[in-house]
């Protein structure tokens, strides 16, 4: 599995580099690399949420971090990059319904990833059910989706910027992860750690789900506002003149 993931990582990075050259934009490669190195912090989130990696996996950094967190970091931004690459020229014309459909597609993707990880034994959960009958895998998928969808919205502001400006995406992605897993998920994991009372855990889960839902509304409004920001007939055209990159 790790060899397959390593090969997939190499292919994805080559594709991002190729796409970056053809579009004259470094965002694809920068975002993929940033997600990979930010993935090294994944064990911290897993500790907070009660997720354990397979102990037989190879590790790095003092045997503390599984190698797959580095190789697999791009998985977290893969739907963001694919959707952005395919729809960046038309997204400014999309309404709220299409935006919600994009978020729904991301949610399915991440839920499948979580379920595959459990089924293949790459990781396991302390609790299969978060609370109120909500699968823990679904809660994680919602958190992943929020982070990826927010990054998708950010890309529209940066994809035609010079390299030095585009590098701002590095702290933005790290900040989004902190916002998502440390703050938005805090009501749930805090109640889970502080009390074994199912009612308190349920309250924490509802609060986290409410924050995620609120965040999705803000993101969708941001997508819809692309229309007013770029004009009713906005088209994101790939620049053909180097001067357009300035």
User: Is 239 among the domain residues?
Assistant: no
Domain count for the chain: 1
Which pTM was predicted? Answer: 0.87
pLDDT of residue 95: 77
Q: pLDDT (tens digit, 9 = 90+) per residue, 204-229?
A: 999 999 999 999 999 999 888 876 65
User: Is 245 among the domain residues?
Assistant: no
Going by C-alpha positions, the residue among 78, 80, 53 that lies closest to residue 153 is 80
Domain membership of residue 86 as a residue range: 2-232
User: Is 33 among the domain residues?
Assistant: yes
Q: Which tokens hold the place of 169? A: 């995406």
Q: pLDDT (tens digit, 9 = 90+) per residue, 144-199?
A: 999 999 999 898 888 778 888 889 999 999 999 999 999 999 999 999 888 778 89
77 three-class SS: coil
pLDDT of residue 215: 96
User: Is 119 among the domain residues?
Assistant: yes
User: Is 114 among the domain residues?
Assistant: yes
User: Is 240 among the domain residues?
Assistant: no
195 three-class SS: coil
57 three-class SS: coil
The residue with tokens 């990059």 is: 81
Q: pLDDT (tens digit, 9 = 90+) per residue, 78-97?
A: 999 888 887 776 765 667 88
């Amino acid at each position: 599995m790790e060899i397959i993931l390593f090969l997939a990582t190499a292919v994805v990075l080559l594709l991002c580099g190729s796409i970056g050259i053809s579009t004259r934009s470094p965002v694809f490669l920068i975002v993929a690399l940033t997600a990979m190195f930010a993935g090294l912090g994944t064990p911290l989130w897993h500790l907070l949420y009660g997720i354990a990696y397979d102990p037989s996996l190879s590790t790095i950094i003092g045997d503390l971090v599984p190698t797959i967190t580095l190789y697999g970091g791009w998985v977290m931004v893969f739907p963001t990059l694919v959707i952005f690459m395919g729809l960046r020229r038309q997204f400014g014309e999309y309404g709220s319904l299409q935006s919600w459909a994009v978020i729904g597609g991301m949610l399915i993707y991440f839920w499948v990833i979580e379920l595959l990880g459990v089924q293949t034994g790459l990781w396991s959960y302390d609790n299969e059910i978060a609370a109120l009958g909500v699968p823990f895998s679904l809660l994680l998928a919602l958190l992943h989706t929020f982070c990826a969808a927010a990054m998708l919205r950010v890309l529209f502001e940066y994809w035609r910027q010079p390299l030095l400006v585009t590098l701002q995406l590095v702290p933005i992605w790290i900040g989004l992860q902190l916002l998502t897993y440390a703050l938005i998920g805090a009501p749930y994991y805090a109640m889970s750690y502080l009390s074994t009372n199912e009612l308190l855990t349920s309250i924490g889960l509802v609060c986290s789900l409410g924050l995620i839902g609120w965040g999705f509304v803000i993101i969708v409004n941001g997508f819809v506002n692309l229309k007013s920001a770029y004009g009713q007939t906005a088209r994101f055209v790939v620049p053909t003149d180097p001067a357009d990159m300035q």
